[in-house]
Amino acid sequence: MKALLINYEYPPLGGGTAIANYYLLKEFSKYKDLKLDLLTSAANNYCEQKLNSNIRIIRFDIGKNNLQLHHQNLQTIFSYFIQSTIWTLRHKNNYDLIHAFSGLPGCITAWLSGKPYLVSFRGAEEPGYEPRYDWLLKLIKPLLKIFYGQAKYLDANSLYLKNLVLKSWPDLKIQVINNGIDATKFFPAKKIVRQPIILCTSRLAARKGVEYLIKAMALIPKGKLLLVGVGKLESAMKILVKQLHLSKKVKFLGMIQHDRLPPIYRRSKLFVLPSLSESQSNSLLEALASGLPAVATNIGGNPELINEKNGLLVTPENSQELAQAISKLLNSRLKSKPGKIYSWEKPAKEYYQLYSRLPF
């Protein structure tokens, strides 16, 4: 069985979708009867690399030049779409099926190929999730109905995202395949963390709402905020920190490789996710698995993960409410009890079984 996986984000590019893809490939490498090629984007020049005997990664140069690796725009996505589509049409006969991991732009390429394909929704493929793309998604909505409707299988990584897609296309049949966690890396600290260290791992972009967290820090009498991530708003947020005289309370750690994150989670007392929209956050899963209680906005897939045993939900864009929740958890003895957080083995097995059944 030979599959083509299409995803414009893969580490070091991208965020949660890229990380999910990374762990799935690690699991796919265990299935020796599965030959898989991933078409993705390069941080710089075109390159091909072998992960092992059955998985190959092909990276297209989309003009990043090692800049803004966590932020994509229409120009770079379109460049990726053109290159990946030309490559797919040239090599489509080498594959049994195509998996568009993230609906756009991969599902368009998959549809053009004429091969059986499945689509995994990860966010930003439908109106209502990513405001900056809403105009385009509404414009091509009739075409998306065709692309999604002719897929052999559709899945979303949260119940919220499934329902959001169904608002636009109620006739689609969508299953939920949740993200996973590498429990060998993300686990609670052996000793109780007493320092009031607040952690946020996020792209510094408008949708992530980090500016509201920075403003909340001005209302918290104690606590130090560690911000992991980069983005287009980084300069503006550093200016905001200076304006609020928070330079001693807020530290920008920049972009940190994913395999270096676990010790940072274990050194922290509390995790905060102030997003304005979110499907199923890998960062939130990692924090909960690391034993951190969490404050998260009451949006998207967050309520599927946060309950009275592991954190608090707050109104988005509300710094005062955010500050109150953070202060409350800093002064409590609450530890994360995340419930069912699965390893990446489970979703990988589900996808492998789907591959084996295609075409239905």
pLDDT in tens, the chain (360 residues): 999 999 999 999 988 899 999 999 999 999 999 999 999 999 999 999 999 999 999 999 999 888 878 777 889 999 999 999 999 999 999 999 999 998 899 999 999 999 999 999 998 888 888 777 888 888 899 999 999 999 999 999 999 999 999 999 999 999 999 999 998 999 999 988 889 999 999 999 999 999 999 999 999 998 999 999 998 899 999 999 999 999 999 999 999 999 999 999 999 999 999 999 999 999 999 999 999 999 999 999 999 999 988 999 999 999 999 999 999 999 887 776 655 667 999 999 999 999 999 876
pLDDT at 254: 94
> What does the alpha-carbon distance between residue 243 and residue 132 come to, in Å, rounded to a whole number?
27
343: exposed, middle or buried (Cβ count in 10 Å: 0-12, 13-18, 19+)? middle
Residue 126's nearest CA partner among 152, 95, 158, 84 is 158
Which H helix or E strand runs over 3? strand 2-6
Whole-structure pTM value: 0.90
HSE-up of 247 (CA within 13 Å, CB side)?
Answer: 4
**pLDDT on residue 340:** 61
Residue 297 host element (H or E): strand 294-297
* Amino acid letter, 26: K
